[in-house]
Amino acid sequence: MGLLSKMFGRGDTATVEPELEHTNCPHTTLTPSWDSVADMGNEDKVTSYTCQGCAQEFSRAEGQELRRSEAERLQSGLMTEE
């Protein structure tokens, strides 16, 4: 392979996929979902939650627990990064 081929990326170089950084999503941006428009806004009628950070869906109970523990999960995450 010549110098120009190396410079311009030509030749028999293997394609390498960039490795994505795997981080644990803290699930702090949860969007509630309801079964009907009439129920929207009523926290007692939420059917599920979707994390806007990773698109993972959670049941009503899981979402409520994540919302309840949000502050302490963020605090513990900040403590481990220092």
- Work out the average pLDDT over 61-80: 85
Q: Are 62 and 70 in contact (CB under 8 A)?
A: no
Beta bridge partners of 58: 49
- In this structure, is residue 65 part of a structural domain? yes
State the chain's mean pLDDT as an integer: 81
Q: Domain range for residue 57?
A: 25-81
Global pTM exceeds 0.85: no
- In this structure, is residue 70 part of a structural domain? yes
- In this structure, is residue 5 part of a structural domain? no
- In this structure, is residue 7 part of a structural domain? no
- In this structure, is residue 66 part of a structural domain? yes
Q: What is the pLDDT of residue 22?
A: 46
Which helix (H) or strand (E) segment is 48 a member of? Answer: strand 46-51
- In this structure, is residue 46 part of a structural domain? yes
Q: Please give the tally of structural domains in the chain.
A: 1
- In this structure, is residue 42 part of a structural domain? yes
Least confident of 1-10, 25-34, 53-62: 1-10
- In this structure, is residue 10 part of a structural domain? no
Q: What is the pLDDT of residue 32?
A: 97
What are the angstrom distances between the C-alpha of 12 and each of 2, 45, 58? 11, 59, 46
